[in-house]
A and B are shown apart, each in its own frame.
Chain A
């Protein structure tokens, strides 16, 4: 038995611990979240007053829509709305 090699394998296994569960879950829920996001943006495009309110407090609006207001989501919405 080559003990050195087994210790190396053990070290390599330790290099890939699981990511935090909540992060994985949030990423897995991207497709349904993206659907809700599309609805939100469509509404903002059709309603100037709503768009103004949305941009003023984007994080809160996302939370109210059941979306995790992480920076990636917030930036994506800002990008989409600023392109209009």
Chain B
């Protein structure tokens, strides 16, 4: 995760990938890696070795088919769709889904919705100061201990709890600003 504040939009990143910018590709993979991983492991409950196959399959397809993407800003829903298809294929391979004409989506719908919500929270997180982003990411997403966080950020571990509390309050303010009033379009990606 980058904490330098110079975050490009999805569309800008895709545009750079289209012209063969390898650094942009690295950023794109970094940006969406958690998303693909969460869909495979949490929504479809794939074991790690199957999730790894899905993960590589999805990014291979993204790389190959990116030039055909019509709307650069719609890259995330497109990646979600590719991931869901790849997960269903993987489940079919293992005989965990019936072979029928149309793919059966066995994901837990509620979990997929929660992942979308979690993505929006990460958007809000990206607007906080770098130190807040890092301390919250390390504690909640990476499940690091106070001691590990303290050592990594060179701050006393005794102050971590209060930092987390302050940063979480900031995140809540940001989040509340985003969710009210509700958007008529249902989201920023159309």
Contact = CB atoms under 8 A, between A and B. Distances in A.
Are both chains from one complex? Answer: yes
Interface of A: 1-2, 5-6, 9-10, 12-20, 23-24, 26-28, 30-32, 34, 70-73, 76
By secondary structure, the B interface counts as helix
Interface of B: 1, 20, 22, 25-26, 29-30, 33-38, 42, 48, 52-53, 55-57, 59-60, 63, 114-115, 117-119, 121-122, 125, 136-137, 140-143, 168-169, 171-172, 175-176
Nearest to B121: A12
Nearest to A7: B168
24 contacts: A5-B175, A10-B140, A12-B117, A13-B122, A13-B137, A13-B140, A14-B141, A15-B118, A16-B35, A16-B119, A17-B141, A18-B1, A19-B33, A19-B34, A20-B37, A23-B33, A23-B37, A23-B56, A24-B29, A28-B26, A30-B60, A70-B56, A71-B57, A73-B56
A32 B60 CA distance: 12
